[in-house]
Structure 1
């Protein structure tokens, strides 16, 4: 896995998100009210709504289109809904954020 710098935690408002384009596609990076940081794919498993535009509450986000609630920790839909998005490893060093991106076998050689 390769850790890629994506900016500072201060670039993301509390209870908000920002998007990052990666080889995996668009990733939404969320910051909770407690300054915890999570990264998941930026599309709801229901109808593809932009999760980065949803409401962050606790460690979940509510999709702005049809109110599905997605865990920021696992990427899984909560409640009676079923489906999931990929959760991406993320780490904080000081104020800097790093996404963990898999390196393909072709690129590692």
Structure 2
């Protein structure tokens, strides 16, 4: 069973924007879509290490700001001819608050 921790209000992230959360497993980009879905991905493109949190959100996809690789935020898989994958993390919205997998946060405090 996944335990979640509150990382802040949905309104802290603009629609089609992101926020970076530093965790024990590295930086995680938490995205908000135009229709208020939330996703959490590793904040590093496997192609050239670009910060996905600075990418362009369109639907449930995010485009890397460096070389335009496109990732599905549901699966972390690269789209089109690109090959690659970014790690996804459990995230959800509850009562206007964003909740992230607590094991990410716990790993940070143990370091």
TM over 0.5: yes
Divergent runs of 4+, >6 A: none
Is the helix fraction higher in 1 or 2?
2
Aligned to 1:30: 31
Change (3 A) 1:101 1:82: farther
Aligned to 2:70: 69
Structure 2 alignment gaps of length 5 or more: 107-111
Separation (CA, whole Å) in 2 of partners of 1:101 and 1:79? 33
Separation (CA, whole Å) in 2 of partners of 1:20 and 1:65? 20
Alignment check: 8 A CA contact 2:37 2:93 kept: no
Deviation of the 1:5 alpha carbon: 1.3
Separation (CA, whole Å) in 2 of partners of 1:29 and 1:51? 10
| Residues 33-73 of structure 1: CA deviation (Å, up to 9, x unaligned) | 11111000001111110000010001001000000001111
Answer yes or no: is 1:14 the counterpart of 2:26: no
Aligned to 1:80: 81
Deviation of the 1:2 alpha carbon: 3.0
| Residues 1-48 of structure 1: CA deviation (Å, up to 9, x unaligned) | 331211011000001001001111100000011111100000111111
Aligned length: 104
Structural RMSD (CA): 1.4
- What is the DSSP-based 3-state SS (H/G/I as helix, E as strand, rest coil) of the residue aligned with 1:56? strand
